[in-house]
A and B are shown apart, each in its own frame.
Chain A
Amino acid sequence: MNNPQFLLPNAVMDLVLQLLFTGIGIGAVYALVALGFVLIFRATNVVNFAQGEFSMVAAYLMVVFAVDLGWPYWLSFLLSLAGMALLGAIFNLGVYYPLRHRSFLPVIIATIGASILLANSVLAIYGPQPQVLEGWFETPGIQLGPVYLDSQYLLIIAVTIVMVAFNYWFFEHTMLGKKLQATSQDKEMASLLGISVSTMIMITFIYSAVLGGLAGILVAPVLFVSIQMGSTIALKAFAATIIGGFGDVAGAIIGGLALGIIETFGAAYISVPYKDGFAFLVLVLFLVFRPQGIFGERVAEKA
């Protein structure tokens, strides 16, 4: 094991900055996927276990449009997101809607079933070969003093910041956002006030699928496009939502970033093989000592 503590202060600082950048980058990916988890949970009280597969499907759509068909990157990007919106709508109608009056358990099992169906459909159509998707920028990255900034990670961080701002504006300052919030808080009351609950839930699924897809497309150039890419990210994102406080948008973002940073520093300073362990160790600690998460409230009542 290499112990960087023994190095000169300057070198330590460089190391810390490099690790911090990587941690924030990978954490931003978790945060984006976690956001999708949270939105669906708030609207339906159900954890959508196919959220990771949304990311995977979007990455494959990107490969189909941008690589196989050779269409421009921005057009492929828009088409992929449109495809995800469609998938979100189908998912709502096929998986959630028929079971909406049942308890949360059948719905959760249905989402697990849907995730297996999605993964194996892509496997059947596209085959098991991992694919390469180029990043958005020609330059792979920038050398900023001692720290190398990967351009794709920079993009991921920027998009996450934009999405956080957008979510805040959308949910707090638009009528649609407020309707969505009202639906997630109390469906009965919302429908008494003339809000179409099923439309709101439809919008939530579409938006979550697009968000998950966005994360998948952004991370594909870094992690490659493979059938498993969704499930590995989703597991961490799920942990991030619990750490942040299930059902809390800010919590999902903070939880995702915290997880990314903790596992990166844990790997560098304690143990590389146990990198994934740190994420879940933190998760367990939270479940034991603060089950409602950083920002959460009354989780016990919901669960």
Chain B
Amino acid sequence: MKFTRRDFTAGLAVGITAPYVIGSARAQGATIKLGMCAPVTGPAAESGGYAVKGARIALEAVNKAGGILGKQAELIVEDDQTTNPGIVLAFSKLAAESDIVAFLGSIRSTQVHAMAPDVLKLGKPVMIGGTDPNLTHMGNQWLFRFRPNDSYSGRVIADYGFNTLGKKKWAVLHSTDAFGTAGGKALGAALEKLGSPAILDQGYANQSQDFTPVVLAIKQSGADILGSYFTYENDIGIFARQLRQLGVNIPWVGSPSITNITALKLAGPALYGTFGVADYAEESSEASKAFGKAYRDVVKVAPDNQSSWPYDAINVLAAAINKAGSTEPAKIREAILATRKFPGAEGEYNFDQNGDGLHGYNIVKNEKGTIVFDKHIEFTD
């Protein structure tokens, strides 16, 4: 294709006028704007891409069904670089756009902690996927969680290993970031409650290149079951391989990252036979199946929790704004908290007054690389 002088002039004209055209559209409030902070770059860029796709699939369906308050909804994504300073910057950019009515934050607890003070200052609802229980228990009324928090995952891991698998000598392995520390603590507390405190509590720093000392510690401890909270897939991959190489084959029940597709690809056979708690399990309900199909049609890979929570967040948020009949933050908040029996991809949403939407987990098993739904464990307290 040739680039002529006329093309150039036309391009220039469009380029110069575009801001005004877009600006006037904004002034008319033609769309309802939702902001999203997601890792476009950095260690979680891959899963960040899935998250944005999940949100977009939901948004498209919402728009097809009439949009939000009769207007089409629009998603504005800012790169959080998978870092804490990154998400603070991304959120401040989005927050500066005063016509954005609500936001999607991060699946990483440590990032949600980083942005939380700004969320409180702004006073608009932010949907999150971070599972550190503290996030909804620290007096920040604008955070709404679309995944079950770690006090549940810890209880489910302990319950499954102790009652279903019948194992009593636990090694607990966790990342030392906010997510991993909170998860490790929750699992430890649940085990203590069952009268079987962990015999090894081992932390590790993210992006480790070698896990030999950790594997040897597990081996020496004489544990007969391993519970884990890993943050990054690379770390799971390296650990899983070294665990098998050094001959440790005890049952292993892991936090959701153990079932995500990047981890499955990297670790391969080293993760066969492991169990994981999964907030999203495709076979667990009709809504989960429906999301799975929609996602496969668009993205061509199996869906996972990285994409299911933003999908649910957009759906619940759209329904809540429609029910509230207003984009006023306090009214949206009330409507989200009043959400009951909402069938989402992750499960049935029944919001409590803390802002937690889900209260249970699925247990899944890795059968030669395929994730198979095993059972759902729900808590009412």
Contact = CB atoms under 8 A, between A and B. Distances in A.
Nearest to A260: B210
Given A148-B247, A224-B266, A268-B216, A273 B205 contact: yes
Given A2-B221, A128-B46, A272-B202, A19 B212 contact: yes
A22 B212 contact: yes
A4 B217 CA distance: 8
Interface centre among A15, A130, A223 (most CB of B within 10 A): A130
Contact of A232 (B48, B207, B212, B237): B207
B339 interface: no
B45 A128 contact: yes
B205 A224 contact: no
A259 B213 CA distance: 15
A273 B204 contact: yes
Nearest to A263: B210
Contacts of A275: 204-205, 208, 213
A140 interface: yes
A275 B216 CA distance: 15
Contacts of A228: 43, 207
Interface in A253-303: 264, 267-268, 272-276
Interface in B8-41: 41
A19 B216 contact: yes
Interface string B179-223: 000000000000000000000101111011110111011001100
A129 B46 CA distance: 5
A267 B213 contact: yes
Interface residues of A, number: 37
Contacts of B41: 120, 123, 128
B212 to A, nearest CB: 4
B245 interface: yes
Contacts of A141: 245
Interface string B310-335: 00000000000000000000000000
B49 interface: yes
Nearest to B270: A140
B237 A273 contact: no
Interface centre among A15, A128, A141, A223 (most CB of B within 10 A): A128
Nearest to A219: B209
Interface residues of B, number: 35
A218 to B, nearest CB: 13
Contact of B238 (A4, A120, A224, A227): A224
Contacts of B212: 18-19, 22, 264, 268
Nearest to A226: B234
A272 B205 CA distance: 7
A162 B104 CA distance: 53
A7 B220 contact: yes
B246 A148 contact: yes
Contacts of A130: 46, 233-234, 237, 262, 266
Contacts of A233: 209
B220 A4 contact: yes
Nearest to A221: B241
Given A2-B202, A22-B210, A223 B238 contact: yes
A78 interface: no
Interface centre among A1, A272, A275 (most CB of B within 10 A): A272
Contact of B245 (A127, A148, A276): A148
A14 B234 CA distance: 27
Interface in A197-256: 222-224, 226-228, 232-233
A276 B209 CA distance: 10
Contacts of B42: 128
Nearest to B43: A228
Nearest to A26: B210
Nearest to A222: B238
Contacts of A273: 176, 203-205
Contacts of B247: 148
Contacts of A7: 220
B238 A129 contact: no
A120 B43 CA distance: 13
A132 interface: yes
B209 A2 contact: no
Contacts of A227: 45
Contacts of B70: none
A289 B207 CA distance: 30
Interface in A87-140: 120, 123, 127-130, 132, 140
A272 B245 contact: no
Contact of B216 (A18, A128, A132): A18
A264 to B, nearest CB: 6
B289 to A, nearest CB: 26
A148 B216 CA distance: 12
B11 to A, nearest CB: 23
B265 interface: yes
Interface centre among B46, B203, B205, B212 (most CB of A within 10 A): B212
B66 interface: no
A2 B209 CA distance: 20
Interface centre among B46, B205, B233 (most CB of A within 10 A): B205
B117 interface: no
A256 B48 CA distance: 35
A236 to B, nearest CB: 8
26 contacts: A2-B220, A4-B220, A15-B220, A18-B216, A22-B210, A26-B210, A123-B41, A127-B45, A128-B46, A128-B49, A130-B266, A132-B265, A148-B247, A150-B245, A222-B238, A223-B238, A224-B234, A228-B207, A232-B207, A267-B213, A267-B214, A268-B213, A268-B216, A272-B203, A273-B204, A275-B208
Interface of B: 41-43, 45-46, 48-49, 176, 200, 202-205, 207-210, 212-214, 216-217, 220-221, 233-234, 237-238, 245-247, 262, 265-266, 268
Given A2-B200, A22-B210, 17 more contacts: A2-B202, A11-B220, A26-B209, A123-B41, A128-B41, A130-B262, A132-B265, A132-B266, A223-B209, A223-B234, A224-B266, A226-B234, A264-B212, A268-B213, A272-B202, A272-B203, A275-B204
In the A-B complex, the 8 residue pairs with the closest CB atoms:
A128-B45, A268-B213, A267-B213, A2-B217, A22-B212, A273-B176, A128-B46, A273-B203
